[in-house]
């Protein structure tokens, strides 16, 4: 089940979020998963060396022979309602995933398991296992599934590092879209650091662009380097027709390593937050309130006793109706977090995506038309925020 980026989507959003990578170590994970804690073994399965295969072909064959059984097929069911409002299970879609631990943890895309009522894992030996969604991260389009492997000796896809990738570097994509034999495609890294709009209108940062064919059903499968290490999770394609045209995108493995501990322990990612009710500026609001800037985040409310209130970031005092909600005018306007310009809610969320509760960030904001800076110790992002 591959998410195809619409032609009209802003694929390359120049200047969008650089995030807080200077403060976050994205190459280490405290969780003791086999994929993280164990280096990739040597690719010792020999290919025929009788002149029929080039050295590049032999490398492709060895990687496939060594790791293809670590890539699983994922099928899901969701509940739909008939004319009598009775819930009926219905097959929802299919995708791929990477086994990352011998206890049965599988890394895949969020959109592969979104709204799933049941999840099934099909292994290379053809056996089918019911799984459970352990955690989801819609903002990075990642998810973790757990199944019980019993006494099976699982093949693990080892984690590499995506921070040191280079354009032109060879990559290999393995997928298992239809629960048949796994498929292998090869290519190169075409671009790095691509901010791309994902399935839920979140900007997924630092995406890896590749010309390796990523076909329907390959979502969630691994993108590997020439050592057989996972450096990305195949996520989406840019296509006017739904088929691969040589523009594919993979979520970087460093992001997966960073969020996996929370997904397994808490079921979701614990992210840092500034204790405000944010409102994105738009033209009519700017004109109505006679604001000094046309882009940024209006602080409708600063939660009493929260981290914004503690450093002098003020909320509004004049309650007005705004669409279907009420907001407060007269508050400060946030225009930058760390090195990220905050022009919209997307920028605001993206600037905090890689943070944790307890981290500190520098916030640039306008108060009574004057620039001010404050260092904010982040709280934990709430599940929902009230506009009233």
| 219 in active site | yes
Contact 112, 1 (CB under 8 A): yes
Q: Please pick, among 29, 96, 190, 219, the residue that the annotation labels catalytic.
A: 219
Total residue length of the chain: 388
Contact 158, 35 (CB under 8 A): yes
| 141 in active site | yes
Contact 369, 296 (CB under 8 A): no
Q: Please pick, among 101, 137, 141, 211, the residue that the annotation labels catalytic.
A: 141
Rounded Cα distance between 214 and 2, Å, is 9
3-state secondary structure the chain: CCEEECCCCCCCCCCCCCCCCCCCCCCCCCCCCHHHHCCCCCCCCCCCCCCCCCHHHHHHHHHHHHHHHHEEEEEEEEEEECCCCCEEEEEEEEEEEEECCCCCEEEECHHHHCCCCEEEEECCCCCEEEEEEEEEECCCCEEEEECCCCCCCCCCCCECCCCCCCCCCEEEEEECCCCCCCEEEEEEEEEEEEEEECCCCCEEEEEEEECCCCCCCCCCCEEECCCCCEEEEEEEEECCCCCCCCCEEEEEHHHHHHHHHHHHHCCCCCCEECCEEEEECCHHHHHHHCCCCCCCEEEEEECCCCHHHHCCCCCCCEEEEECCEEEEECCCEEEEECCEECCCHHHHHHHHCCCCCCCEEEEEEEECCEEEEEEEECEECCCCCCCC
Enumerate residues 6+ apart whose C-beta is below 8 A from 14: none
Q: Please pick, among 96, 98, 101, 111, the residue that the annotation labels catalytic.
A: 111
> Active-site residue numbers?
111, 141, 219
């Amino acid at each position: 089940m591959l998410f195809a980026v619409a032609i009209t989507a802003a694929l390359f959003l120049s200047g969008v979020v650089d995030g807080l990578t200077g403060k976050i170590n994205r190459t280490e994970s405290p969780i003791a998963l086999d994929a993280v804690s164990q280096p990739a073994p040597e690719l010792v399965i020999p290919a025929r060396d009788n002149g029929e295969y080039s050295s590049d072909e032999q490398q492709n064959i060895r990687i496939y022979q060594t790791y293809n059984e670590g890539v699983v097929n994922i099928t899901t069911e969701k509940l739909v309602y008939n004319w009598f409002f009775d819930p009926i299970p219905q097959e929802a879609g299919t995708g791929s995933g990477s086994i990352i631990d011998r206890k049965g943890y599988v890394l895949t895309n969020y959109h592969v398991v979104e709204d799933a009522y049941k999840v099934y894992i099909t292994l290379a030996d053809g056996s089918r296992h019911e799984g459970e969604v352990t955690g989801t991260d819609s903002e990075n389009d990642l998810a973790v599934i757990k199944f019980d492997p019993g006494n099976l000796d699982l093949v693990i896809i080892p984690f590499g590092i995506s921070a040191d990738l280079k354009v032109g570097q060879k990559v290999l994509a393995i997928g298992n879209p239809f629960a048949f034999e796994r498929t292998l495609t090869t290519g190169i890294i075409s671009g790095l650091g691509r901010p791309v709009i994902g399935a839920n209108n979140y900007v997924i940062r630092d995406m890896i662009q590749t010309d390796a064919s990523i076909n329907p059903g390959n979502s969630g499968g691994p993108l590997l380097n020439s050592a057989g290490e996972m450096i990305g999770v195949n996520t989406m394609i840019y296509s006017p027709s739904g088929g691969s045209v040589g523009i594919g995108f993979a979520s970087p493995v460093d992001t997966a390593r960073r969020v996996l501990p929370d997904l397994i322990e808490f079921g979701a990612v614990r992210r840092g937050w500034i204790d405000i009710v944010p409102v994105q500026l738009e033209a009519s609001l700017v004109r109505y309130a006679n604001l000094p800037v046309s882009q940024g985040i209006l602080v409708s409310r600063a939660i009493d006793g929260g981290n914004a209130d503690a450093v002098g970031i003020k909320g509004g005092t004049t309650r007005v109706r705004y669409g279907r909600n009420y907001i407060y005018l007269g508050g400060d306007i946030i225009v930058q977090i760390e090195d990220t310009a905050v022009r919209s809610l997307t920028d605001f969320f993206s600037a905090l995506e890689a943070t944790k509760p307890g981290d500190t960030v520098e916030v640039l904001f306008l108060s009574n038309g004057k620039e001010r800076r404050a260092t904010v110790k982040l709280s934990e992002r709430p599940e929902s925020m009230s506009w009233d």
